[in-house]
């Protein structure tokens, strides 16, 4: 995965004269760190196995010399922790790249595929991301596609959803797109669904990021 569309991404980076920076965020348990590990095909980010989240600081990882991903703490760990994590996220969104340009080029919000309660995700979008970042640079993806129907209808032999699960997932991303618009007023690009654990649709996740990479850094004045 490290070389996926490398030439295209490098060309776009060279033309812009920048390294593209993407902040990966979401609620606790959405699979941000697992996603990073799958993209890099090795353990670059710690994965929480219990109730305590592993990502409590901001770490960055280079996919190549043109593309960098920032892991971030999730929301949903209590009011005090969420307040601390929100500050970390906002500080990164306002990190100055120079010439009053923002360091972060895109924000990828990862949603847990099996989670029907979107309240914390909407809080993340509405209270933290949308007020502090250009709306057209916000992307959403649904992880854990294999668990979207509580583990049912996942074809483990072929490592992909059955037709029934795929239909459910297609309906889910359409619903998320509508609900985000209703909750935040932002019409996001249609989300994609994937499974970081099984490596399913990771190419589509990368396509979502690469195809929407801007041609220049963003202005910090929003």
- pLDDT for 147 equals 94
pLDDT of 157 reads 94
Helices (H), 69-162: 79-93, 119-123
- Cα torsion 128, 131, 132, 134 to 10°: value is 120
Positions in the chain short of pLDDT 70:
1-4, 42-58, 116-117, 221-222
Residue 65, number of CB atoms within 10 A of its CB: 12
pLDDT score for 153: 97
Domain ranges (residues) in the chain: 6-211
Say what the pLDDT of residue 42 is: 55
Rg of the chain in Å (alpha carbons): 17
From the options 3.10.20.600, 3.40.50.300, 3.40.50.1100, 1.10.540.10, give the CATH code of 6-211: 3.40.50.300
């Amino acid at each position: 995965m490290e070389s996926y569309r490398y030439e295209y991404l490098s060309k776009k980076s060279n033309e812009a004269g920048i390294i593209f920076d993407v902040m990966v965020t979401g609620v606790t348990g959405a699979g941000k760190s697992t996603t990073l590990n799958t993209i890099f095909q090795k353990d670059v980010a710690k994965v929480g196995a219990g109730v305590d989240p592993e990502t409590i600081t901001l770490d960055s990882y280079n996919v190549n010399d043109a593309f960098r991903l920032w892991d971030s703490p999730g929301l949903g760990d209590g009011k005090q922790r969420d307040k601390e994590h929100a500050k970390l996220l906002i500080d990164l969104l306002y990190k100055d790249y120079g010439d009053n340009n923002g360091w972060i080029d895109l924000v990828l919000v990862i949603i847990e595929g099996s989670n029907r309660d979107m309240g914390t995700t909407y809080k993340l979008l509405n209270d933290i991301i949308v007020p502090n970042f250009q709306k057209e640079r916000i992307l959403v993806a649904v992880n854990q596609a294999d668990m979207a129907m509580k583990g049912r209808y996942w074809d483990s032999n072929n490592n992909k959803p059955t037709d029934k699960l795929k239909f459910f997932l297609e309906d889910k991303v359409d619903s998320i797109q509508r609900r985000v618009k209703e909750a935040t007023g932002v019409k996001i690009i249609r989300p994609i669904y994937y499974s970081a654990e099984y490596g399913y649709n990771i190419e589509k996740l990368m396509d979502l990021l690469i195809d929407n990479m801007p041609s220049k850094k963003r202005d910090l004045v929003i």
